[in-house]
Homo-oligomer: A and B are copies of this chain.
Amino acid sequence: MRTRVAVGIDIGGTNSVLGLVDEQGACLAESSVDTVPEAGPESLVERLVSAVRELHAPLAGTCEIAGVGIGAPNANYYTGTVEHPPNLGWKGVTPFVALVRRHVDVPVVITNDANAAALGELRFGAARGMRDVIVITLGTGLGSGIIANGELIYGVDGFAGEIGHVTVQPDGRECGCGRRGCLETYASATGICRTVFELLSTSRAESELRDVPFRKLTGRLISAAAHRGDPIALAAFEHTGKILGTTLASTVAHTAPEAIILFGGLADAGELIFEPTRRWLEAHVLKLYRGHVKILPSGLPGGNSAVLGAAALGWTELLKAR
């Protein structure tokens, strides 16, 4: 009998990655294609399908593709569509699952990348065995996937888990969503850059970051400066952890998770971000939750966590159908 695998596909603004993943989370093969969003979704789907066929051909004797899971920005699980994705520039609503289904005859499911990350942690990563957990992705923005009673929460319309758009500061920083003061304008790779510039304006402290222009600043530069003891960089991590931790204290009052997993670019800063987040969460959380919520790093291997998340979505669907 051939090993059943799910194809995991993660669609990014520049590259899209794909892999063949077995039920235990082993990635048997992986590759990537340039996304080239301006060529349109049909072109991307054709190139993805070709890449999957190339990947599978040498393994066809030993492994069988049972389903496809896709993580993509602004993807809707219920409708199989990708809706107005800001970093792909596709107008309107793209029936992405239907486009893929023209080429393949197995179940195909899609959700946004944060939900895929949450399913990846649940099935293969740090949330294995948990029934209530929240995954926060700290990238350009802040995404989230909420698992309660062992299931991902999609909400009535497929768009649950937008914790990045919880208002933390009325009349605060402008957000890409058109409102102000959303969590992701503070707690994300972009948010911490904005915080550094705010601190450079309000503080007189010496900082190597005074030589970096806005467009060049990255979470990684801030992290490197903080490791060298730069006071502005350290204060920026403290401020980011304060806003993230106090906001997550209110999130905990919703679904009472066993753990919150911090995932993605800014989470790679390690204790620089984990320590203040944990400390401010504990200081602000309702007494009955105090000491009960773990703040954990991802349990997925960094290199292919996005592929494993998307494949976990595929496996979740296949195992439901059984």
Task: Spell out A's residues near B (CB within 8 Å).
Answer: 130-132, 146, 148-149, 151, 153-163, 165-167, 170, 177-179, 246, 249-251, 253-258, 284, 286-289, 292
Contact = CB atoms under 8 A, between A and B. Distances in A.
A136 to B, nearest CB: 12
Contacts of A146: 254-255
Contact of A253 (B156, B162, B258): B162
B148 A253 contact: no
A52 to B, nearest CB: 30
A148 B292 CA distance: 22
A170 B163 CA distance: 19
Contact of A254 (B255, B258, B284): B255
B159 A256 contact: yes
In the complex, the count of this chain's copies comes to 2
A287 B182 CA distance: 13
Contact of A153 (B149, B178, B289): B149
A258 B156 contact: yes
Instruction: Say what secondary structure dominates the interface of chain A.
Output: loop
12 contacts: A156-B292, A159-B288, A161-B253, A161-B254, A162-B253, A162-B254, A165-B253, A167-B249, A167-B250, A170-B246, A250-B250, A255-B255
A257 B148 CA distance: 14
A304 B257 CA distance: 33
Contacts of A131: 156
A94 to B, nearest CB: 16
A166 B162 CA distance: 17
A153 B148 contact: yes
Nearest to A246: B167
Please provide the 3 A-B residue pairs with the shortest distance between their CB atoms, ordered closest to farther: A155-B256, A160-B256, A156-B258
A284 B149 CA distance: 29
Given A132-B156, A156-B132, A251 B249 contact: no
Contacts of A286: 162, 165, 177, 179
A113 to B, nearest CB: 16
A251 B163 CA distance: 9
A177 B287 contact: yes
A254 B158 CA distance: 12
B257 A156 contact: yes
